[in-house]
Structures are given as structure tokens and as C-alpha cells.
Structure 1
Amino acid sequence: MTEANENYVDGEWVPSETGETAAVYDPANPSEVVGEYQQSSAADAADAVAAAAAAKDEWADTPGPERGAILREAGKILDDRKEELTDLLVAEEGKARPEAAGEVQRAIDIFYYFATKASDLGGTVKASSGRNTNLYTREKPVGVAALITPWNYPIAIPAWKLAPALAAGNAVVIKPASIAPGVVVEIAKALGEAGLPDGVFNVVTGPGSEVGSEFIESDGTDAVSFTGSSHVGEMVYDQATDAGKRVQTEMGGKNPTLIAASADPAEAAEIVATGGFGTTGQSCTACSRALVHEDVYDAFVDALVAEAESIDVGPGDDHEMGPQVSADELESTLEYIDIAQSEGATLAAGGGTPDGDAVADGHFVEPTVFTDVDHDMRIAQEEVFGPVVAVVKVSDFEEGLELANDVDYGLSASIVTDDHTEANRFVDEVESGVVKVNEKTTGLELHVPFGGVKRSSSETWREQGDEGLEFYTIEQTVYDNY
């Protein structure tokens, strides 16, 4: 019997008042239990908020360099445990090992980055229009930040929310995704060992309807940051704003790559395959639409099919592409594959579950390519969240740009072209928070802002970089007449 992981509240590991736990299973081998976690209630969440509220003032008064030193030490502890964190991430979420190791390293880098930024927080000095007056600003923490994080990047996304919140002097409560909460529990252990005061960081696992709702609606929280699906995120936004909270949501995408007539088809296919099939397509920035100029369409399709068919699918420990995270996610992807075929798209590669003993029991799906896709088909309009790429033929750059924008989402977009004018026009006119030229849609630098437009984001505050700190601070202006 696996020993149940407990909640982390006020510096203590405590069970839920419900007395209930839930198992997390290995998506590559769903009969294997990876861990047991608390099925917490609203009362458990309220206890965590109370602990954070009690701790926030002392943490806010802690000098920035001292806060940074604790973040830096936590990053070092995570770095020392990188291998075991990678093992846990592969087991709980199913990522291929190189992808899991890269994500763990990303979280470590984020802690180091914001450890340094904690020393930069201060404000600005301005010239006063009056005599004998000092005029300046101060950056003050918001108070208690509530974080609700997804399963697809279960350590990187919590890190890029948590580290700036702590660096800015906020106390934090977090509800990690129930499918893969283990790495957030490990972050809590690292921060505790690094010397973070009790109550400043609190972890409560369990259903969003209980834990998440309490975090959002509680009088004790001041800001809510959410990453997840657009459907849930829009409900979170409404709930948080109705409760008078500062709110930040980053949500889904239907990300295009426009393949221009000047593109090398093989190079473009590699870019699309990496962006569309990496992380099993379970990324909000994954490429799910290839908008391909008719002059290179056939050669591109041949190259993309070859890329898809070359991918080694199996358990993440020793294969190139791992499973989908759950039976529900696999079922959803297979349903979209059926819908695409029923609407008239041509299945050019994949489309089913792979054969073999290694993949017999897990939530595996083949990298899938559809051609002859009309842009009004559901496969070209709705987020699939699996390794499925819809290829749409376009007659020219203008049509490709128009279709790139003809969706409800606007998270990431890319263009593959040798024409600098086309590249610049795409950057200027595409409706997307992240734009890339001759690169895959996935992959983000940690020191620049990240966020989307339209249904991909609340379009309030961006995450990461300097902008990532802005959400967690309030500017105070001081007039000091001496």
C-alpha cells in the first residue's frame, strides 16, 4: 500500500479532514499506482488560506535579498534532486524522459531567475514639481496569491507562478492538478528545507470544485492565477472577478504554423512535427494547424507523414513520445480523430493506438496527420490536446494569414519562410500573444512575457520575466514633504 502524501499547511504535513485519498496512476501502465494524495475539502482549503493570511505580513517585511536567498536555496535543492523529480514526472504525467528532465531544469532555472529578481524590487524616484518633496514609488505585495495549475507542465507552470509571487513578498496557496500533483509536493519540501517561514507556502490537493472554489472565493485571498482549459478558465475568471480579486488566466490554443511558398518542405515538416507531436501534443502552445502554400503542399505532406511515422511511441523512460496523461484525454483525442474523418478530412498518418507489448495497456496514441482539411472543420477550429496536426492548403500568404486568425484562440503562432517581408507582416498582423519565425510554436524563454489573446487569455497580466512580477505587486506612490 502506497503511503498517502499529505497537504502542506502552515509548515506542517497534515491529512485532509475528509479522511479520503485518491490514487494517481502511471499513464504508461494504468494498473500501477504512483502515489496517493489527499481528497481535500473546502475546509482544508480555508485552513491553508488562514495560514497564508497569518504569514503574509512577516514575509512581506522580509528584505528582498533575503527572500531571494531562500528561493536560490530551494532551486539548489531541486537541482540536487533533479533525477528523482524527473522520475516522478515521467511516472505521473507520462512525458518522455528528455522532455521531463527539460521541464524540471526549467523549474530550477525559474527559481534561480526570480531569486535574483527579488533583489531588484524597489520602485522609482521621480522629480517633484514642488520644493522640499521626495517623490517615489514602492512595489508592495498583493497579499495572498491563489494558484491553480494544470497537469501538462506540472512543475514548470507552478514554478513560474510561485517563484515571482514569493519573490515579490506574497504568501501563496496552491491547488496542483489532481492527475500529477507530486512534483508540487516536492517543491513544498524544498522550500521548507530552504528556510521559507511557516504558512508562506501551502499546498492542498483535491477537486477544483472544493479546493479551487474556496481559494477563489475566500476573503483571505487577494489574487488568483489559473492555467488550464478555456472553458474552466473563463469560469474561474468570472468567479474571481465577482469576488473582487485580481485575476490572471492563461488558457487554450489552436496554434498555426504558416508554411510559405519559399519554405523548404522538409525543414518546415520537422518544425511542425516537433511543435505538434512533442510532449504528446499536450501543450497549450502545440502546433495543431499547418497552413501550407499549394506550391509546397504535396512535398510538405510527404515529409510530415514521414516525421510522424518515424516517432517511437511508448513508455517515457525509453521512448521518444509518451502516453496521453489519462484515459479521458486519450478518448477525447480518438473522438476528434473520428470526427475529422466523418467530416471528410483524409487520414494521412496515425489515427489509432499503436501495437506492441510496451504499449498494450497505456494511454498511447499514434502521431496523427490529417490532410484535405477545410478550415471550418472542427479539427481545424477546436483544441484537441493530443498529437494531431491538421494540414490546410492555402493559395497564397494572404489566405494563410487570414486562416491563421480565423479561430477563437490566439496563444502561439509561427511562420516558416525565406521572405523577410512575409515574416514581418506575419508578426505585425497575426492575432497571437507569441509569434515565431522559422521556429516551432512550442518552447518559451523564461525572462520574457508569455500570454495569449482572445480565448487564450484574460489579457490582464502576462506571466514570466519582469511582467510576471507585476501581477503580484501593487505600485504605491509616496509624496514625502520634508
Structure 2
Amino acid sequence: MILLDFKFHEWQWQYQISTTFFVFGIVPFVFWVYARYITASPNKYNKLEEPVKLSVPIPAEAKPHWKGKRLYPPNLTIRAANEPTKIQSYCPATGQYLGTFTATTRDEMNQQIANAKVAQKEWKASSFSLRRQVLKTLSRFILDNQEDIARIACRDSGKTKLDASMGEIMVTLEKLKWIIAHGERVLRPSQRPGPSNLLIGMMKNGEVRYEPLGVVAALVSWNYPFHNLMGPIIAALFTGNAIIVKCSEQVIWSSTWYIDLVRLVLKSLEIDPNLVQLCCCYAEDADHFTSHPGLSHITFIGSKPVAHKVVESASKELTPVVVELGGKDSLIVLDDVKDIESLSSVILRGTFQSAGQNCIGVERVICLPKSYEKLVEIFTERIKEFRLGSDIDQLDEIDMGAMISDNRFKQLEALVEDAVSKGARLIHGGKPYQHPNYPQGHYFEPTLIVDVDPSMRIFQEEVFGPVLTMIKANDVDDAVNLANGTEYGLGNSVFGSNFRQINEIANRLDSGNVAINDFATFYVAQLPFGGIKKSGYGKFGGEEGLLGLCVAKSVVMDKPIMRLFGVATSIPPPIDYPIKDDKRAWKFVSSLNTAGYDTRVWNIIKAFKKLAKGGA
């Protein structure tokens, strides 16, 4: 039973409420009130913003028990044999063929951008109510079709359904709900104080208006085929832009279905679907796209070598680029962590989700001595129990899926071998894994390597694979120096019990993002996301991400009271052309500056006297 006391002055009531009634009566009612009234968009258009119900069939290749033909080397590649303009798709977990697609030609890119420009002219004048309805329709479909969306992502990327749910669906739903709730407030005109000049400030107001850029582009990586594609689309549509997404050739099969879904949402609301389009091509044609004069902004998510080419190409038209590159994220563990077992689960998820192919994955675990030994012991036991495979095809429980391809396997092995040759200990893994059911699948063993130090390549170079790297620090200062000791600066995590201490550590870390006693939640929280150093520049996500897709137009105007009395800007006679008396004009302007900016009262009074005399 639950005992509730209510006191009012000298009276007191006591009620006993059954736990069953509390759990199944009061709690659901509170949640209903919260969902119905508190989280509802505070505007009169709520009824007009109801999501439209959609029905979109799932591809046969993503259905359970699908039996597709398997590809074998040398045909296990995205390059179709003897067809240079074709892109071949296959499942990296099973080697099953998914289809062949024609790469977007330069003429088609031109047409896409032209069509998007026409569609955006109407869309930029759309109401926030309609934009929210688009996002609500998309959100409702995702919620009602989570497994289908996850299976499509798994089939094209090789990840598990759990990884797809957490890394693809949850973060996309969060972005949608956050923008639905807060996007209009962010994009409202921002009122500014106006001129600080005493005289001009009495007359003028200032504000910044946020207007869409036009046609924007996003070049996104393959590791999260759903979320990486949807994130830029959601932000672009809500800010009134059109967008063309260039997906990776590795995931054109799933990207095509996802783009078709968004275009169906637009069509269902009688909106021109050319607002959202998909481009996919090989590197030889990418420069034409990124240097196109019809693009107003580019978001690039990928590797540093490709970023150099994108930025160079975009510079031909002075197109601004937000660059989000790789990381060498560290997770610092202090010796006062209370629940080391729970922390070990966080580290394993942060390292091995999507087979370690995460830009903000845990690349280095830096521990103080006491925590170090405990974690090495725990990881030694847990990692050897990992099960690999394709959970959308197998009935068995699967912990980790495949990598997108095997083209980096030799690099991963070389990093491990270099570390071992310099004194590191390889506890588990370190080599490709041949799956008994899917021998052509791209699997790499979950790897644990300990006693790593800065002299080893694996400390400095991004792994982007299923490798847990352990580094021992002597003390807090050493841990911070180790964390900052690479060319990257994307994200970090700090774990400890003394909040003041870990907060100070967070301030000392050279990175764009830090999670305190957590992993990567800065990304879920819709904060501005981006790195420093060789991890890129610029931000997407949150308020800054939306504003970055807008023209910040500065507007100054007369204050309403001035307009009411017909007071308007005019040029005083002493400084009107042609200047009649330059000495008098000079005294007038200098007095204007003194009256407007001086803080000494007597000087201001004297300046006003001179102004009253017209500078005489």
C-alpha cells in the first residue's frame, strides 16, 4: 500500500492507495496528461498536423527466410564486371546479391539540382505547421515499422537488428521529436539589442531572420545507412530547404528504399517530391556534384582523404562545407568508479556496436591502474563469448554482425601486429573470421588488445573496427595527456565518482564533445555535433545544426514608437551633401560620437549642447 499525507493549515487527510491502482490507474493517467498536453506542440494547428498513415511494402530481400543468390570472389564487389556505370549491391554478412543500380550521371545531377530548385521555391514559404506534419508522418511510420526499417539497414550493412534499433532508429526518432517540439522556436527571428549608441539606439531595433539557403547537399557514410541519410533530410526540410543526398555506393540498395519512403511522405501531403532526391556515383563523377553552382551548402560525413577532395571541389564555387570526419575517441576510467561491471557493459557497447564502425565509437579505453586490472579481467572473459553472424537470417542469438567489406582487414591485422611487436598483449581476436554458414561474409573477430602505448600505430590511427584497445595511465594528468595525444578531437567520455574532478577533466579534453559518466549521449541529446583538429569542423545537430542551414539575415528598423510619431532617419544639415562647413561638420560628428558612446555624464551633456547648435 502507498500512504499519502495531505496537509492544509490545521487539517490533515491521509489516504491509502493500493499499489495496483497507483500503477495501473494514476501512472498511466499522468503519462496521458504529459503526452496530450505538455509535449503537444503549443500552437493552434495541432489538429492540422495529424500524421498521414502510409503503407510501404518491405523489399523481399529484407523479409525473414529470404533466399537470395550468393556472390563469390572476384564478383563479391560493388563494381559490376565490365559495367563501369553500374553499382552492385550485396549483403556484407551473407554475400547475397541485392541488385545492380546505374550510377547517377552528370546530366542527371544537373537535372536533380534544377528540379530541387523549382520545388524549393514553393517549399521555402511553407508553414511550420506543414513542416511539422511532414516530420510527424515520417516519425509515425518509423515507429510503426521499426523492424522493417531495421531489417533493411541490416541487410545492406551487415549489422544486427539491435544495433540498427539503437544506432539507426532511436537517434532518428529523437531528432524528429526534438525538431517537432523545438524547431520553430529556434528558427523564429532573433531579437537583438540594436545599436549601443545612445542616440541611434533610441530609434532603431535589430533582429536576425533565418531564411533557407536553397538547395543543400549531404554526402553521407555507409555505417548508418538509415540515420546518416535521414538526419540531413529532416533538418533540411524543416528549415525550408531542398536536399540532394549522395549516399555511399556501399548502401545504395537501402538508401533507394529510404529515399522513396521520404518522397512518398511528401506526395501524401501534396508536396513536390523533388525536394528530396538521391545521388549515387563513383569518385570520378563526384567532383561534378560537389563543385556544382546550384548547391548552397554541403554536409560531409566520411574520411579525411575524401574530405580533402570534397572541400577542394566545393571551393570552386565557395560552397560552405560542414566536415565530420573520424575520431580516436577515448574513454577515461578513474579509480573511484563504483560499479565496474556496469561500466564494462557500456564500454563493450561503445566499442563493438556495428562491429566498431562508429565515428564516435570507443577507440581507446584509458584507465587508472586499479580500474585497469579489473576491466582487463572482465573483458577477457566476456569478449571470448561473443557470437558473430546475421541475426535477420539465423535463429541463434547474435552479438556482433559483419563489417561493410573486407578491404580494411589487412590494415586491422597490421595495426594489431605492430602493437604486439612493441609490447602490447593480444588477448583475443586480431584476425578475420570465417563464418561457417556465411564463409564469404565480411567478419572480423572481436579483438581485445591491452598494454597499448602512444608509440604504437593503433594508439594514433583510427581503427573503425571491432577492436577494444586498453591503455594504462599513471594518474589523472597522464590520462588527460593520453586522451589528447592524437590528431583527432571528436568525442570523449569520463567516468568517476567525484563530479567536480570529472567535470574539470572534461574541460581539459581537446574534443568537440564530452560525455560525463556516459557514452556518446551528447549525440542523442541534440546538441551541436562536430569535432576539432583532424576530426573536422562545423556543426550539425541541435539548434546550431538548423541555423547552419539558414541565411542569417540582419534586419534593422525604426522602433514602433518612432514609426507611430512619424520619426524617420534623416541626414542632419551639417553633414548633408554638399558639405557647407567642414569644420562645423566635424564638430557635429565628433559630438555625435561623444554623446553616443562616452560614459562621462558631463561630456555627454556638452556633446548634446553642440548637437543642439548644429556643431557650432
Instruction: Using structure 2 for the length normalisation, give the TM-score.
Output: 0.71
Mapped pair 1:466 → 2:543: yes
Call closer, same or farther: CA 1:143–1:335 in 2, change over 3 Å: same
Per the TM alignment, residue 390 of structure 1 is displaced from its structure 2 partner at its CA by 1.8
What is the match of residue 225 of structure 1? 299
Counterpart of 1:364 (choices 439, 443, 456) is 443
Call closer, same or farther: CA 1:71–1:182 in 2, change over 3 Å: farther
Q: Where in structure 2 are the equivalents of 1:68-467 lying within 5 Å?
A: 68-102=132-166, 103-120=168-185, 121-126=187-192, 129=200, 135-195=206-266, 196-210=271-285, 212-264=286-338, 265-317=340-392, 318-354=397-433, 357-441=436-520, 444-458=523-537, 460=538, 462-467=539-544
Please give the secondary structure, in 1, of the residue aligned with 2:332.
strand
Bigger mean CA deviation after superposition, 313-322 or 408-417 = 313-322
Per the TM alignment, residue 23 of structure 1 is displaced from its structure 2 partner at its CA by 1.6
Call closer, same or farther: CA 1:218–1:41 in 2, change over 3 Å: same
Bigger mean CA deviation after superposition, 437-446 or 373-382 = 437-446
Per the TM alignment, residue 476 of structure 1 is displaced from its structure 2 partner at its CA by 1.2
Counterpart of 1:59 (choices 123, 132, 138) is 123
Bigger mean CA deviation after superposition, 200-209 or 349-358 = 349-358
Per the TM alignment, residue 268 of structure 1 is displaced from its structure 2 partner at its CA by 3.7
Per-residue CA deviations over 1:315-346 (Å, capped at 9, x if unaligned) read 14341100111121434323322333344422
Per the TM alignment, residue 101 of structure 1 is displaced from its structure 2 partner at its CA by 2.4
Per the TM alignment, residue 426 of structure 1 is displaced from its structure 2 partner at its CA by 1.2
What is the match of residue 554 of structure 2? 477
Contact 1:147 1:224 in 2 (8 A): yes
- The structure richer in strand per residue is 1
Per-residue CA deviations over 1:221-247 (Å, capped at 9, x if unaligned) read 110100011222233223323430121
Higher relative contact order (CA 8 A, sep 6+): 1
Per the TM alignment, residue 126 of structure 1 is displaced from its structure 2 partner at its CA by 4.3
Instruction: Using structure 1 for the length normalisation, give the TM-score.
Output: 0.89
Letter in 1 for 2:319: K
Contact 2:89 2:253 in 1 (8 A): no
What is the match of residue 14 of structure 1? none
Q: Structure 1: which 5+ residue stretches go unaligned?
A: 5-17
Per the TM alignment, residue 398 of structure 1 is displaced from its structure 2 partner at its CA by 0.8
Letter in 1 for 2:323: T
Bigger mean CA deviation after superposition, 58-67 or 354-363 = 354-363
What is the match of residue 91 of structure 2? 26
Call closer, same or farther: CA 1:109–1:263 in 2, change over 3 Å: closer
Per-residue CA deviations over 1:338-373 (Å, capped at 9, x if unaligned) read 333344422111212346523533111111111221
Per the TM alignment, residue 410 of structure 1 is displaced from its structure 2 partner at its CA by 0.9
Per the TM alignment, residue 375 of structure 1 is displaced from its structure 2 partner at its CA by 1.2
Identity percentage of aligned residues: 24
Per the TM alignment, residue 425 of structure 1 is displaced from its structure 2 partner at its CA by 1.8
Call closer, same or farther: CA 1:53–1:405 in 2, change over 3 Å: same
Contact 1:146 1:174 in 2 (8 A): yes
Call closer, same or farther: CA 1:339–1:442 in 2, change over 3 Å: farther
Call closer, same or farther: CA 1:208–1:104 in 2, change over 3 Å: farther
What is the match of residue 68 of structure 2? none
Aligned equivalents of 1:378 and 1:68: distance in 2?
47
Aligned equivalents of 1:437 and 1:126: distance in 2?
34
Letter in 2 for 1:39: A
Aligned equivalents of 1:331 and 1:179: distance in 2?
19
Per-residue CA deviations over 1:26-62 (Å, capped at 9, x if unaligned) read 11112x1123322222222222112122222211122
Contact 1:111 1:159 in 2 (8 A): no
Aligned equivalents of 2:386 and 2:229: distance in 1?
29
Q: Which of the two has higher C-alpha Rg?
A: 2
Letter in 1 for 2:361: A
Contact 1:253 1:284 in 2 (8 A): yes
Q: How many aligned residue pairs are there?
A: 464
Q: Structure 2: which 5+ residue stretches go unaligned?
A: 1-58, 62-82, 195-199, 564-616
Per the TM alignment, residue 446 of structure 1 is displaced from its structure 2 partner at its CA by 4.5
CA RMSD of aligned residues (A): 2.5
What is the match of residue 8 of structure 1? none
